[in-house]
Amino acid sequence: MSGERRKFRREGEAARREALISAALDLVAESGPQAATVRAIADRAGVTPGLIRHYFASKGELARAAFRTLMDRLNAISDAAIGDPGMTAEQQLATFVVTSLRPPSVDPEVLTQWAGFIHMIRSDDALRSVHEATYVAYRDRLERLIADLARTNDPARLRAQAIACNAVIDGLWLEGSALPSAFAPDALARIGLASVGAILGVDLFPHAPDDLIQEVDPT
């Protein structure tokens, strides 16, 4: 009667860690960081709270792993957009910009997750390293795409342009994620193409992905 111990299956370490991390990220996305308690995370992952401490030395270490996973996922989205050898440099850059300014990159839940970890950057060295590495990786990819346009080969100018383009994209990402209802579909992507184009002195619209939603002319 009383002692019906819960049945379970032994999953691999990798699967369990991933399940716990995803559960934590889900909870942060839905209800903020304070909702991601040890008990809630375990429940969402389909295990009991004790198991968390079996795979992570502390809740903080789970948080670190979750932040790393979040950054990796974000990087992977825009990474997948480039590298097609059949594309011109302009096409690759335009695709990169558009991908960064659409779902699933632009997403209120992703912003909530990101913001939920940001305060740790100040106090946790490991987390700050992940954050810095992610930023630099993104900016460097952008810088390489800009360099391929061969409009300039002044390294300082190239770097400044990469920082500026990165900032436009980040800013538009931020606003689209924080105010999802304020922008029509692909409006952010079009503004991003125009702004990055203006900064670099290139018209990127002819090289944008075919499925880019054009501005509706309300005539």
Partner DNA sequence: CATGTAATTATACAAGCGAATAATTACGGG
Partner DNA sequence: CCCGTAATTATTCGCTTGTATAATTACATG
Residue ranges in 135-154 that form contacts with its own copies under rule CB under 8 A: 135
Interface with its own copies, residue 61, by CB under 8 A: no
Report the nearest approach of DNA to the CB of residue 127 (Å): 16
Structure token digits, residue 9: 């299956």
Query: CA of 54: how far to CAs of 120, 190, 201, in Å?
Result: 23, 48, 55
User: What is the rounded CA–CA span in Å between residue 195 and residue 175?
Assistant: 15
Nearer to DNA (CB atom), residue 62 or residue 202: 62
**Other C-beta atoms lying within 10 Å of the C-beta of residue 32:** 13
Nearer to DNA (CB atom), residue 11 or residue 203: 11
Report the nearest approach of its own copies to the CB of residue 57 (Å): 19
CA atoms within 13 A on the CB side of 120: 23
If contact means CB under 5 to 8 A according to the sort of partner, which of DNA, its own copies, none does residue 115 touch? its own copies
User: What is the rounded CA–CA span in Å between residue 68 and residue 129?
Assistant: 10
* Residue in 8, 13, 32, 104 binding its own copies, rule: CB under 8 A: 32
Interface with its own copies, residue 172, by CB under 8 A: yes
If contact means CB under 5 to 8 A according to the sort of partner, which of DNA, its own copies, none does residue 149 touch? none
Which residue from 105, 73, 116 is spatially nearest to 175, judged by alpha carbons?
105
* Residue in 7, 86, 123, 219 binding its own copies, rule: CB under 8 A: 123
Report the nearest approach of its own copies to the CB of residue 119 (Å): 3
Nearer to its own copies (CB atom), residue 99 or residue 195: 195
* 117 within 8 A of 74, measured Cβ to Cβ: no
User: What is the rounded CA–CA span in Å between residue 72 and residue 70?
Assistant: 5
Interface with its own copies, residue 79, by CB under 8 A: no
